[in-house]
Amino acid sequence: MNKYLSIIGMIMLLALTSCGTVSVSSDYDRNVNFQQFKTFAFHEKGLNNLKMNDLDKRRVVAAVQQNLEEKGLTMANSENSADLIVNLVAKTQKHVNVDVDPWYNPWWAGPWGPYGYNGYWGAPNVRKYHDGTLIIDLVNRKNNTLVWQGMGEGLNLYKLSDKVERIPKAVNEILYFYPPKK
């Protein structure tokens, strides 16, 4: 019995965690020693050009800052004194999904075939949604080279009630692989 309960529990956990997840990927320079980086700062021009409203922008910055500080990095006073420059890029893509229900025949008129009511095509269902992508670039300030990049795709921030929870969760998922394990 416990075996079945644990299997059901695993299925439920998988179902709950698969809803609304962000697809994450990362890449890094394999020749860089990431232990050398102790401080970070946000790229001001990047923040000014970030295509998000100010509330979401502050949420993303706070989540990135908290995550990097938990990993042992310290926020620098300026870009000029930081080891790493954090550049943020956000993109959205609008999707439209149109489908039609298949032939519908409820047999209201009974089994009279072509002599009675013979069904109809369903109404088209149109669903519009936006998928967001958040890219976090970590640039070595000394030589201005990209040393690490994380990307989260499938981030939907148009449901206002989810933003407060989803933004930090997405940032944590993206930065999970920093620093890279060699």
* Omega of the bond leading into 180 within 30 degrees of 0 (cis): no
Task: Give the span between the Cα atoms of 76 and 129, in whole angstroms.
Answer: 38
Task: Give the span between the Cα atoms of 176 and 174, in whole angstroms.
Answer: 6
Beta strand 84-100 with 124-140 is antiparallel
Task: Give the span between the Cα atoms of 98 and 41, in whole angstroms.
Answer: 44
Average pLDDT over every residue of 118-147: 81
Contact between 78 and 43 (Cβ < 8 Å): no
Query: Among 1-15, 18-32, 75-89, which is the least confidently predicted range?
Result: 1-15
| Residues counted in the chain | 182
Contact between 50 and 86 (Cβ < 8 Å): no
Q: Which two tokens stand for residue 179?
A: 């620093």
Residue 13 has pLDDT above 90, yes or no: no
Counting Cβ atoms within 10 Å, is residue 73 exposed (0-12), middle (13-18) or buried (19+)? buried
Contact between 82 and 140 (Cβ < 8 Å): no
Residue 5 has pLDDT above 50, yes or no: no
Note the pLDDT tens digit of each residue in 68-109: 999 999 999 999 999 999 999 988 777 677 877 665 555 555
Share of the chain above pLDDT 70, in %: 73
Query: Is the Cα torsion angle 52, 165, 98, 118 positive or negative in sign?
Result: negative
Q: Which residues contact 123 (CB under 8 A, 6 or more apart)?
A: 100, 101
Contact between 104 and 120 (Cβ < 8 Å): yes
Share of the chain above pLDDT 90, in %: 46
Structural domains in the chain? 16-99+129-175 (3.30.160.670)
Contact between 100 and 123 (Cβ < 8 Å): yes
Residue 16 has pLDDT above 60, yes or no: no
Contact between 180 and 148 (Cβ < 8 Å): yes
